[in-house]
Structure formats: C-alpha cells, structure tokens
A and B are shown apart, each in its own frame.
Chain A
C-alpha cells in the first residue's frame, strides 16, 4: 500500500514539475539545450518510477507482505549481515507518532520564533516539548532549555562570534 501511495506522489510530482517547467525558456538561446530540458528529464524519471511503483505495488499487495527491513542504510545481503542489522534496529512501535508530531511541530515553531523571541527563549521553548517527547520531565526540559539557550548563546555569540538574535532579551544580552 505504502508503495502505491509513493507511486502516486511520484506521478504527481513529475506532472507538477513538467507543468512548472513548460515556461522555462531562455530569452536568447546560445545553446541547443536550454533551462527546460533537465527538469523535464527529471519529471519523466519521476513519472516512470511512479508508474512502476503503482504497478509493482499492486502485485506486492497480492503477495504476502515483504520481510521487515532495517532502518539504517542496508548493507549488502551478505550472509548474516541483513539479519544482524534488523536485530539491532528493531521494528518501530507505532505509538510514538504523537511524540514525533510534537517534535516536528516544535522544530517548526522554533524556526518561526528564532528571530522574534531571540535564541535563548526560542531554544527554551523548543526544548520543553522535545524533552517531553524523549521521556524527560517538564522541569528538566525547562532547565535544560535555559541552560542550553544561555550556554550556547555565550559560546557562539560571545566567544565564537557567530551572531545570534537576542530578541526580547536584548536588554540583558546586549541587543543588536
């Protein structure tokens, strides 16, 4: 099933790329291949892969489900190698999806608040849900976040000269 969804996405991506690139033409052309050819070639590849996944995906559904796979890059199926890799990286329990979503949202919000709130506060705010997601406590997240925020700020901004936004704490951290 997953392969067929992926196949559909590929087909759509190919179509979108082809549609978007139809207007890419150089005003004056000095060369036989313009800016449109390469994207169109890639769109064709996406379309082919998509079609292939749709066709084989259907066949695979009919067959018994494929063996679970290791999540790290798979080594060659040398004797013992594949099994070993699967043994070390066990199949995923599905109930962690809430934590994954929480973490993903935290990263996006972190990006949005990085400048307005400043590095220190934004980092603290990001650390709380991420800490919770990884099994920490609220207090741990808050203290850890503040520690990371201030520590990394002083390390990067003051010591290493990588300028970071100070945001609402600019009065404290020397605003810029």
Chain B
C-alpha cells in the first residue's frame, strides 16, 4: 500500500511537463543512438550526461532523461539488427539471427513490430519488478555496514567476471584497471595525491566522463574502422507493418518467459543485456525449435532476445538504486552522473529522496509507453537515418563527444586524455579485455576502498571483520559460486557435447 502511494507520487513527478518532455526526447534520442551501429546505451548516456549538466537540469529531470535514453537504446538496437543484420548495440546481437531472415523474406514490418511489442512487455514487466522488489531490498540493505558493502562489491565483480565468457581472467584484469584508474587523484582520507605525476589536471582525479567517452565512444570508432561489418544492405520493403493475432499468440509465452529471465539476469550486478538476450534466445530455441525454424526467421527468435534485453536493462536499476552497486555498464555510467549531482545511490536514497527514486521508476513506465508509440508507427522514419553514411556520422559523434568532455571543465587536457584513453581502450579491446568491468571498477573504486578502510578501522586492522557476519559470508559464497559455476558449467557442456 505504502509502495503504491509512493508510486503515485512518482507519477506526479514523472508527468510534470518538463519531465514528460525530457522522457520523450530521451526516448527518441535513445532509439536513434541504439539503432546506429557502434553506439550503444553507454555512449548514449555518456553523450547526454554533460548536456543535462550544462542545461542545469534538476537531478530528477536529468535522471529521467538518461533513463529514457538507456531504455530507448535497448528498443532501438533491434532496428538495425533486423534491417541491416548489424546489431545496433550488443544487446541486440541475438535479434539479428531471426530478425534479419524475416526482413529478407519480406516480413521486416512484422519483425519490427513484434520486437517492439516484446521490448515493451519486457521493460514493463521489469519495471513492475522494481516496484515489487526494490523497496524490500533497500530496507534489507540498510543493515549493511562497510564490511558488507565491500563483500557486495566483490560479489558484483565476481558476477561480471564469471559471466563474461571464456576469459574471466581478462575481465578481472579489466576490473583491476578500472579500480586503479579510480585511485588517481587526491585521497580524501589522508590528503595524499596519488598517481598524479604532479599534474594539476589530475589532482581531483580523472573525470568520469573522459573515461567513459574515451574508452567507449573513441575506442568504439577505432574498432568500427577495423571491422568492416557485413551487411547485406538496408532492407526497404517492409511488407505488412503490424503482427497479426497468430503471431501475437505464438510469442505470448516466449515474451513472458524471456521478460522474467531478463529481469533476473539484469538484477545480478554486472550481468547485462547481452547475456540476458543470449540466454533467453537459447532457452526458447531449446523449448520451441521443433521444426528447425530458429535462425531462419522465427518470430519467437525475435521476441525472446528483445524482451530479455529490455527487461535486463530495467532490472539493472535495482542494484544501482537499492545497493549503490550498478547492475550494468550503463547503470555504472548513470551512477557516475548521479555523483556529479552529489547524490549517492543506495538504500538511504529510498528514505531520503523518495520523490527522486519513485519519479524515476514512474518515468520508466512512462518512457516505455512513449517508446512503444515511437517504435511502432515511426520505425520507417528512423530506418531512413541508417542511410547516413559513416563518414559523416563518425565525425559528428566525435565532435559531440568532444563538446561533452569540454563542457565539464573547459580544458584541452581532458580532450587529449579522452584521445589517449580511446587509443588505450582500442588496444585493450584488441587484447580481448572487456570494457564493462573496467567502467564498473572505475565507478566503484572509491567506494570500495573507502568501505574497506572503514571496515578495517572498526576492528583496528583486523581482517576478520570482512567475513564476520552472516551477510558477508553469504556474499562471499555467492561470489565464489559466480566465479566457479560458469566455467564448470561450460566444461560440463563441452563434455556433454563431446559425448553426444
């Protein structure tokens, strides 16, 4: 009951004219950014963050804008997956497998509309999940002390490395690099300058936005250059624009299952939309691929990943809002944005700034509806944007990135650092090092160190406090499971495949 009251107040915030407008603008920009290959939600949020700041938007309005961009990106990624066979963002990789064959068979309109519907359901289910679970989790998290927080962050890193694929070691390395970057600058406890090399520009640390834009936008552009993506050309004949009743019924359970799965994956800190959509696709394939239609243009193969990646994007707000530990790379960026507003997400946020939290949650419902309206009738209009050639698009992205970085401190140093980090990011990606754990490390670094130091202060340096409570023990066990189970599962799967 109390929750519904808060949610009502939240709708009051979300439906204020400025906030509604920002949600619409964010949804529109998000869809476009998500659609453009090479730009994902992280870039979208990173590009708009300084703008929100420069426009002096109040915190809740800025957060609503950024959230709409994030959700919009997850909606938009599918458009280029389906029409171009090039995923607009990583969460939409799986959508191309069935979406593009559908488009080539003249059913682009059906693929686009059913995936928009799936995205909407996925997002809405997950937002409802936030309403149900976030307040509970926030209340529970109030019992967390520094040791619990430290263990929780270790758990977040374990999630992101364990689920990251075949090379968890490189994910650990990425996280450590992020943590190391976060130590640059003045140590607030002791007043010691660390790793600044006596450079004034580094004395209050490396700007968050420089790291994000350098490592994501700039390095992404270099990676784009190297990989000439295969595309069979933009598909223009859209055919029937809306799915019919049969397709609606056929995908019903698929969408529900994938939404729930996506939500659960999203809530785990670190595991993002890519993993959620891959898992949802393979579950549906296992359950439904009786005639071998998956991969050849099955509507369920389009709905499953889309429902899951949107659900996971929304779900990833739960750990960020309730625990202060971001659930995805993008929520890590949003946490950085909140820090620019001097807001620290965490359980206290629910009691101290309920209008911010609930306004945000309500705005997610609003954005979802806006996105559905944007994405079903206007999709043809968006698709035309895919005709903008890269040679014009990329300088534009670079220029906007530079404006974003420059607007924070107005120094050339930040721009040069952005370039250097872009090149370093490119080299790291070439070496197979994922960027998401790095950004997570960078965002969490300071918090993690502070909590470790605070915990050890309590016991005067005695390490045992780190595993001294049931919560910490539980978190360490969960972290160990996250690290050990995926490789064991993979091994089991390989052996299984070898026997079969």
Give chain A's interface residues, CB within 8 Å of chain B: 2-3, 5-6, 10, 13, 17, 20-21, 24-27, 29-35, 37-39, 42, 45-46, 49, 52-53, 69, 71-81, 84-85, 88-90, 92-93, 96-97, 99-100, 103-104, 107-108, 110-112, 114-115, 119, 123, 126-127, 130-136, 140-141, 144-145, 148-149, 152, 156, 160-165
Contacts and interface: CB of A to CB of B under 8 A. Distances in A.
B402 A148 contact: no
A75 B225 contact: no
Nearest to B230: A90
Given A35-B189, A72-B93, A161-B55, A96 B392 contact: no
Contacts of B433: 6
15 contacts: A32-B461, A38-B179, A39-B183, A45-B172, A77-B493, A93-B226, A100-B225, A104-B426, A131-B395, A132-B391, A134-B391, A141-B391, A152-B400, A152-B403, A161-B55
A155 B49 CA distance: 16
B394 A130 contact: yes
A49 B399 CA distance: 37
Given A72-B274, A92-B226, A84 B426 contact: no
Interface stretch (B215-223, B249-257, B358-366, B376-384): B215-223
B422 interface: yes
A88 B87 contact: yes
Contacts of A92: 226-227
5 A-B pairs closest in CB distance = A136-B391, A75-B278, A111-B415, A32-B461, A78-B282
Contacts of A32: 456-457, 460-461
B326 interface: no
B227 A90 contact: yes
A31 B190 CA distance: 10
Interface stretch (B131-139, B233-241, B404-412): B404-412
B390 A134 contact: yes
Contacts of A38: 179, 183, 449, 452-453
A149 B169 contact: no
B55 to A, nearest CB: 6
Contact of B281 (A78, A126, A133): A78
A135 to B, nearest CB: 6
B85 interface: yes
Interface stretch (B191-199, B335-343, B475-483): B191-199
